[in-house]
Amino acid sequence: MEVRRGGPARLLGAGARSGDMAMGGVGSTREVAKSRARGSVAARLARAWAEVARGRWALFAAYLGTSWVVARIYWQTTHQLETATIEKFVAGTADKPFAYRVLMPWVLGWVNRLNGVDDLVVTDIGLRVVVLFGVMVMMRRWLRHFVDPLLADVGPLLLGVMLPGTFVWYWPYDFAGILVWTVCLLALVERRYALYLLVFTVGTFNRETTFFLIGVFAVTQWDALGWRQTLRWAGVQLAIFAAIFVGLRLAIHPASGDAVEWHLLNNAALLIGRTGPFVFEGWMIMLSALGFLWLVAPWYWRRKSEFLRKVSWIIPVHAAAILATGRLLEPRLWNEWIPVVLAMAGQTLMEFRREEGEKASAASAGGGGP
């Protein structure tokens, strides 16, 4: 899909202007946009109903069931820090830097008051089910840009295996972070910049890892927008990020904690086996990030989608940040890369299948008689 070069306003309005020209100048741009929106909604509803009629409802039921199971496992296996309990998150009194990740605590508190539920855990489980179901639906659409429809349908169910191994401490924002990244990556693939900017902005209130999405935007949209417009869009995102990042720290004043946690020395000691669990267990915990799928994701690198290869350029930058400020014994820190790794692993499986098919065809041709 080709995008003409121009400023943000031009890019966001290109569809409406071209529609108005196609109408021969009859009617306003707003009327054309409304008409197209109604047609688009009707078409999407029709496609959704067609999928339900074909039995696809069972797939979405599986997504919902998996989301419920994972949410239940989450609360059975995680522990709450004394300085960052669910109650303190909602009350805004958690330690730094957790107190600045306000989106899901705000939503959690609002939903809890709206429903009149006294138990925050029950509300949290319900929200996790909704968020994770949203992740799976968006993941399916994302994967369909890179792999066969069957793999795209089944791929999101792997979250039921990948996520539970990352559960250690309670954090209200982790699942929402995966949703933010999945939708932003999908918006970039489909060149829907308004949606991307909206989700990027909202997601920055959830967790500051949206900072790395600026780099993802730059490396994946450079060819489509040109360097001037790419830098302009990146500057807009950087300004939004800085305003939210600084604004939250001016508005919220936790009583304790560190604004930035530094774990470089501890992680280095862990890597050489001088701290933490015994060496084998420590390395297995670290390597289990992303459900071990990162081991097969890079295979057939030259045959990978160009978009996925470009996105991967940002992984080393994020890895350096995790090494300095995160804990390597928490594999959850990598979870926002699940959409990318799933897509790359899916393409690896497709290449495996293609090669096996070629071998079978060659063997059949070689052994056949006249």
DSSP string covering 9-32, please? Answer: HHHHHHHHHHHHHHTTT-S-HHHH
Average pLDDT value for residue range 209-232: 96
Which pTM does this prediction carry?
Answer: 0.82
**24 lies in some domain:** no
**294 lies in some domain:** yes
What is the separation, in whole angstroms, between the first and last Cα of the chain?
A: 47
Residues 68, 129 contacting (CB under 8 angstroms): yes
**pLDDT level of residue 370 (50, 70, 90 thresholds):** very low
Q: Cβ neighbours of residue 1 under 8 Å, at least 6 residues apart?
A: 190, 191
Between these two residues, 51 and 99, which has the higher pLDDT value? Answer: 99
**176 lies in some domain:** yes
**4 lies in some domain:** no
Domain count, the chain: 1
351, with CB counted inside 10 A (0-12, 13-18, 19+), is middle
**pLDDT at 39 (0 to 100):** 63
Percent of the chain that is helix, strand, coil (3-state, to 5): 75, 0, 25
Our CA dihedral for 330, 220, 136, 58, rounded to 10 degrees, sits at -150
**135 lies in some domain:** yes
**pLDDT at 28 (0 to 100):** 53
- Is residue 135's pLDDT more than 90? yes
**162 lies in some domain:** yes
**pLDDT level of residue 309 (50, 70, 90 thresholds):** very high
**pLDDT at 235 (0 to 100):** 97
**108 lies in some domain:** yes
Name the least confident of 248-262, 266-280, 329-343: 266-280
Name the least confident of 51-65, 135-149, 205-219: 51-65
Between these two residues, 48 and 79, which has the higher pLDDT value? Answer: 79
Average pLDDT value for residue range 83-102: 93
Residue 169 has phi, psi (to 5 degrees) of: -110, 155
Name the least confident of 36-50, 97-111, 150-164: 36-50
**pLDDT level of residue 255 (50, 70, 90 thresholds):** confident
**pLDDT at 257 (0 to 100):** 82
**241 lies in some domain:** yes
Domain span at residue 92 reads 53-348
Between these two residues, 326 and 46, which has the higher pLDDT value? Answer: 326
- Is residue 278's pLDDT more than 70? no
- Is residue 327's pLDDT more than 70? yes
**pLDDT level of residue 280 (50, 70, 90 thresholds):** confident
